[in-house]
Amino acid sequence: MATILPCEIEFLAEDELIKVTPRFREARLQMISGNYGPFAPGVPLKIPIWMAMNLKSRGLVIVHQPRWMSAEKLKEWLDSENADNTNAIAPLHYHYREISRMILQNCRDNLSDVTEIEQLIEDIWNVRVSKLKMSCKNVLKERWQNEIPDHGGVFKVNNFTQMEVNFIRANFLKGLNVSFVMSNKITDIEQKAAAHQLADDTTNTSSFPTGSSASTLSQFTQSQTQN
């Protein structure tokens, strides 16, 4: 079962815009994904993360810390996550894991509270992934205890990011597939056994009509008598 790699998810996240202050002058750049610039020293603007990382590695920009990536906001988020044992809170950014990794690796000198932010991101990730794993475990448990619908079941994942869902994808999908195949087989056998039983019962019935046909006959007889 093919899954997307973490580096591929990061590649998709690199299209997000981030605020930078350039140290060079350049006219507006016309790219396929959009127009960026013009670049003037000391004038902040928003550019994609892939461009920001490239310019940062060449010393041409100062990358601004995203507003959601402050120690206070992350602490609040972690406290909200810890307060609810079952459901995940809506993330501060859909690509928080990927963006934080790129910025912490390439732009440490532009950030404040680096160590604290690293630890908070790691704690938030651990809490959210453990909630997701628990939900998956409960779903698989329900499938072996109860009947699975004919279409296999529809599941909705709320407030989890692509990176988090990808982390549990392989195991969860395998569990769903295996339980679906086996459950289908059980249903087939039970239906065939029931059909076989019904066929046996039908061949063993007497010659007198029974059920609805008998009541119809008696009603006809009664109406004849009345007439």
Partner 1 sequence: MDLSMVDRSPGNYLDLEDIVMSDSKIPCRSRFHLKNIDLHSVPEEFDEGKKIELPLWLAESMTEFVRHEFPKEYTTRFQSILRADPEIVNLHRHEPKYFAKGLKLSSEKLDFPDPRDTVIMLETLLEAASRRMLWIAMQASASKINQSKVECKLDDGEKVHYSQLIAQQEEYKEWKTGRTGIIKESKDRFKSI
Q: Residue 207 is which amino acid?
A: S
Closer Cβ to partner 1, 3 or 205, answer by number: 3
**10 Å Cβ neighbour count for 125?**
17
What H or E segment, with its residue span, contains residue 21?
Answer: strand 17-22
| Ramachandran area for residue 113 (φ above 0: left; ψ -120 to 50: alpha; else beta) | left
Q: How far is the CB of 9 from partner 1 (least distance, A)?
A: 9
The CA distance from 142 to 140, in Å, is: 5
6 is a contact residue toward partner 1 (CB under 8 A): yes
Tokens of 202: 């039908």
Helix (H, G, I), strand (E, B) or coil at 93: coil
43 is a contact residue toward partner 1 (CB under 8 A): no
Closer Cβ to partner 1, 39 or 120, answer by number: 120
**10 Å Cβ neighbour count for 191?**
10
Q: How far is the CB of 17 from partner 1 (least distance, A)?
A: 22
195 is a contact residue toward partner 1 (CB under 8 A): no
Q: How far is the CB of 58 from partner 1 (least distance, A)?
A: 17
Instruction: Report the Cα 133 to chain-centroid distance in Å.
Output: 12
Residues 61-100 that bind partner 1 (CB under 8 A): none
Report in angstroms the alpha-carbon separations of 139 from 2, 81, 131, 134, 151: 22, 21, 12, 9, 15
Stretch 107-146: interaction string toward partner 1, x if CB under 8 A: --------------------------x---x--xx-xx--
Specify whether the CB–CB gap between 44 and 19 falls below 8 A.
yes
Specify whether the CB–CB gap between 124 and 160 falls below 8 A.
no
Residues 169-188 that bind partner 1 (CB under 8 A): 170-171, 174-175, 177-179, 181-183, 185-186
198 is a contact residue toward partner 1 (CB under 8 A): no
Closer Cβ to partner 1, 85 or 130, answer by number: 130
Q: How far is the CB of 151 from partner 1 (least distance, A)?
A: 15
Closer Cβ to partner 1, 22 or 124, answer by number: 124
Residues that bind partner 1 (CB under 8 A): 1, 3, 5-7, 10, 101, 105, 133, 137, 140-141, 143-144, 167, 170-171, 174-175, 177-179, 181-183, 185-186, 189-190, 192-193
